[in-house]
């Protein structure tokens, strides 16, 4: 190498080395900036994505549609089986519909008796999925609604049936939804009918883990998982999915939302956590309680009351 071939450019070597070092340093500076002041860097990221991705929308939409049509065409092959299956499901659904109607009437009566007011704050904005995360290690989608539609960080997102994720990163006309399957997703949930609290922890697989269950003995596969209002992350009572036992014998959640076909998502105006506008500070209650710790029995009582 150093013998003859590069010798004609020997004068350029030190300059080249400085150029390489400079470029790498600039890139590492960007990385350090992101590490030190993550919220601001993520806003920058949202702004960049906001600038680039909508430009591709004209191409993204037809390609996606074509791919979906091909998929739909393939399913023609199994049309007969599908038809039979749908008929079977329809029969079951009729029975459920009857049950649901009766329950609805009963529920309305009970609510009336109790004079319960339902939370009117849960209105929603619907967005179309623009793009994927593009990376194998991140599970997120990009919606075509953003700050100009009033979207804010932390709002819950559903696909109409089940919880999908939360808003994380808002640009002017796009916003990113971090899915429950992302390895950074941690969501407090309640498992019905036992009322156990747990955390739903994404691990990049399609079945997120159900961890920190108070008493795993009371949870069995098939139980319903709904969101809980713990930590003010999400509004309570959104359907998340069902408990299943993974192949590794850990409790996992089969999500109710159809993750293979995320097309339209509802962003619930749910309040969400306080906005992060400064780095590295603990989020504490505004007025710390002055009374000493209450007895353990009272804590347990409160827990069971709002769970």
Partner 1 sequence: MAESLGVQRVIWRFAFVGVATLIAFVQLLPLGSGSGGLPGPDLIALLAIAWVLRRPDFVPIGLIAVVMLVADFLFMRPPGLWAAIVVLGTEFLRVREQGLRDLPFLVEWGLVAGVLLAMTLGEALARLAFMVDQPSLGLTLIHLILTILAYPVVVGVTAFAFGLRRAAPGEVDDMGRRL
Instruction: List residues binding partner 1 (CB under 8 A).
Output: 1, 5-6, 8-9, 19-20, 23-24, 26-35, 41, 44-45, 48-49, 52-53, 56, 59-60, 63-64, 67, 129-142, 176, 179, 181, 183-184, 203-206, 259-260, 262
Least distance in angstroms from the C-beta of 302 to partner 1 = 33
Least distance in angstroms from the C-beta of 158 to partner 1 = 14
Reading the block at residue 54, the tokens are 């909508």
Give the residue carrying structure tokens 């990049």. 204
Least distance in angstroms from the C-beta of 172 to partner 1 = 16
Using the minimum distance from each CB to partner 1, give the nearer residue, 160 or 301: 160
Using the minimum distance from each CB to partner 1, give the nearer residue, 165 or 271: 165
Least distance in angstroms from the C-beta of 33 to partner 1 = 8
DSSP H or E run through 132: strand 124-132
Q: Torsion angle, CA of 34/40/43/45, rounded to 10 degrees?
A: -20
Using the minimum distance from each CB to partner 1, give the nearer residue, 138 or 152: 138
**What gap in Å lies between CA 133 and CA 113, rounded to an integer?**
48
Q: How many residues are there in the chain?
A: 307
**What gap in Å lies between CA 179 and CA 158, rounded to an integer?**
10
**What gap in Å lies between CA 122 and CA 265, rounded to an integer?**
15
Least distance in angstroms from the C-beta of 23 to partner 1 = 5
**What gap in Å lies between CA 96 and CA 52, rounded to an integer?**
46
Using the minimum distance from each CB to partner 1, give the nearer residue, 19 or 111: 19
Using the minimum distance from each CB to partner 1, give the nearer residue, 4 or 287: 4
**What gap in Å lies between CA 94 and CA 79, rounded to an integer?**
22
């Amino acid at each position: 190498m150093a013998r003859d071939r590069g010798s004609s450019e020997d004068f350029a070597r030190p300059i080249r080395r400085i150029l390489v070092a400079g470029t790498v340093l600039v890139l590492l500076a960007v990385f350090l900036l992101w590490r030190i002041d993550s919220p601001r860097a993520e806003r920058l990221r949202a702004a960049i994505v906001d600038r680039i991705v909508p430009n591709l929308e004209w191409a993204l939409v037809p390609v996606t549609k074509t791919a979906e049509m091909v998929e739909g065409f393939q399913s023609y092959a199994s049309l007969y089986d599908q038809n039979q299956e749908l008929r079977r499901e329809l029969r079951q659904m009729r029975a459920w519909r009857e049950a649901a109607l009766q329950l609805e009437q009963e529920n309305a009566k009970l609510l009336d008796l109790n004079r319960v007011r339902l939370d009117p704050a849960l209105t929603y904005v619907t967005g179309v999925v623009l793009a994927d995360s593009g990376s194998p290690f991140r599970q997120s989608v990009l919606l075509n609604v953003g700050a100009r539609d009033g979207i804010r960080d932390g709002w819950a997102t559903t696909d109409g049936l089940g919880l999908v994720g939360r808003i994380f990163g808002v640009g002017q006309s796009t916003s990113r939804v971090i899915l429950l399957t992302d390895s950074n997703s941690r969501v407090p949930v309640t498992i019905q009918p036992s009322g156990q609290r747990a955390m739903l922890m994404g691990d990049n697989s399609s079945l997120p883990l159900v961890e920190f269950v108070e008493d795993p003995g009371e949870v069995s596969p098939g139980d319903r998982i709904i969101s809980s209002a713990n930590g003010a992350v999400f509004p309570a009572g959104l359907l998340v999915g069902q408990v299943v036992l993974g192949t590794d014998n850990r409790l996992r959640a089969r999500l109710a939302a159809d993750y293979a076909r995320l097309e339209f998502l509802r962003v619930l105006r749910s309040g969400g956590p306080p906005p992060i506008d400064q780095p590295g500070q603990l989020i504490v209650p505004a007025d710390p309680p002055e009374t000493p710790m209450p007895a353990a029995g009272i804590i347990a009582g409160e827990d069971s009351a709002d769970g």
